[in-house]
Amino acid sequence: MSETTINLKDYLLPLPWHGEFWQSFNDRIDSQRLPHAIMLNALEGVGAESLAYSMAYRLLCTNVQSGVACGRCSGCLTLAAGTHPDFFYVAPEEKGKQILVKQIRKLCESVVKTSQQGGWKVVVINPADSMNRNAANALLKSLEEPEANTILILISNRLSVVPTTIRSRCQIESLSVPSKEIASQWLSGKAEGKQVNIDEVLEIANGLPLLALDYIQGDGLENRQQVEALLDAMRHANETPLLVAQACQKYPPDDLIDWILSYVHRLIVGELQNKPNPALFLFLDKLIQARAWLLSSANINTQLLWEELFIEWAQIFQSQR
């Protein structure tokens, strides 16, 4: 999810469906019961990253009013400019890859070194599940010996992949997908002036509001529809797996695998719900494995990967024709 889809000023207030968490977050600040580490556990597209930014604004603003950052003080402005000395953001150097141990070591050094002006230090690690084992071990030390007034906000959409040693030291906050009403109301405000069927886009985005927003604002929807048409065509033997694998080389591999996953999932709970087919569930497992593989390895022959997956995909439907 690109950070540019939301203006920085939009981070001042949490997204409408995070209201309940926000209230308890504020209560805990007021009563000085904020934990040292919070793990925001949410599907990508629910807005955990956005919430982490809202939390950072709330903690680094020097002029908070009614639990909301002001957006005008030096704390808010330097955070917006990306120059706040007490804000640390760690993400993989390349999208979809791992967070490396050298990044975590550098983070720990910087957090200790910075001159704290009596306020909070905020660290965001996004996504926490992309830390490799060494990186996670390096982070453990700082989780075991927490610095005063430092909060770690870890974001994860695959909590099971995060080492137990890390998870057990965090307060885990699971953020759920908002109701269709709340999501479409929010999207309507964002899509003003655009010819778009909000409910349709929201459905394609599996109800995930920020993913739907990405589709409305970018070319994600068109790409995704093309891929779904190709998957459909292979189901009906109108396209061959090898040619489709070639055609799919132009899409980012991790996006492609997510599109296929969500398409297969929708098929299972929708069109094919009365024709249960174990092969489809095995195929889902393969996709999830492939996704993990893409995340952890640097040099994958994606042409071969797509070929293998698509040949299997076509075979699932062969017997039914």
Task: Note the residues at the interface with Zn ion (CB under 5 A).
Answer: 61, 63, 69-70, 73, 76
Report the nearest approach of Zn ion to the CB of residue 61 (Å): 3
CA-to-CA distance for 125 and 144, rounded, in angstroms? 17
- Comparing CB distances to Zn ion, the nearer of 62 and 197 is 62
Give the count of alpha carbons within 13 A of 240, CB side only: 3
Query: Which residue blocks in the chain are alpha helix, DSSP H?
Result: 19-30, 48-60, 74-81, 101-113, 133-144, 164-167, 180-190, 198-204, 209-217, 220-235, 241-247, 253-269, 278-296, 302-318
Give the count of alpha carbons within 13 A of 266, CB side only: 15
Report the nearest approach of Zn ion to the CB of residue 45 (Å): 28
- Comparing CB distances to Zn ion, the nearer of 73 and 243 is 73
Report the nearest approach of Zn ion to the CB of residue 54 (Å): 12
Q: Tokens in use for 33? A: 């019961």
Phi-psi region of 203 (alpha: psi -120 to 50; beta: other; left: phi over 0): alpha
Report whether 46 contacts 176 (CB < 8 A).
yes
- Comparing CB distances to Zn ion, the nearer of 56 and 257 is 56
Q: Any idea what the Cα angle at residue 96 is, between residues 214 and 158, rounded to 5°?
A: 85
- Comparing CB distances to Zn ion, the nearer of 56 and 69 is 69
- Comparing CB distances to Zn ion, the nearer of 61 and 151 is 61
Report the nearest approach of Zn ion to the CB of residue 7 (Å): 16
Q: Which residues have CB under 8 Å from 73's CB, separation 6+? A: 61, 62, 63
- Comparing CB distances to Zn ion, the nearer of 70 and 143 is 70
Q: Any idea what the Cα angle at residue 194 is, between residues 71 and 210, rounded to 5°?
A: 55
Q: Angle between the 209-217 and 220-235 helix axes, to the nearest 10 degrees?
A: 100
Report whether 162 contacts 129 (CB < 8 A).
yes
Report the nearest approach of Zn ion to the CB of residue 152 (Å): 22
Report the nearest approach of Zn ion to the CB of residue 57 (Å): 7
Strand partners, 173: 40
Report the nearest approach of Zn ion to the CB of residue 69 (Å): 5
**Pairing status of strand 150-156 against strand 37-41:** parallel
- Comparing CB distances to Zn ion, the nearer of 80 and 161 is 80
- Comparing CB distances to Zn ion, the nearer of 73 and 159 is 73
Report the nearest approach of Zn ion to the CB of residue 9 (Å): 11
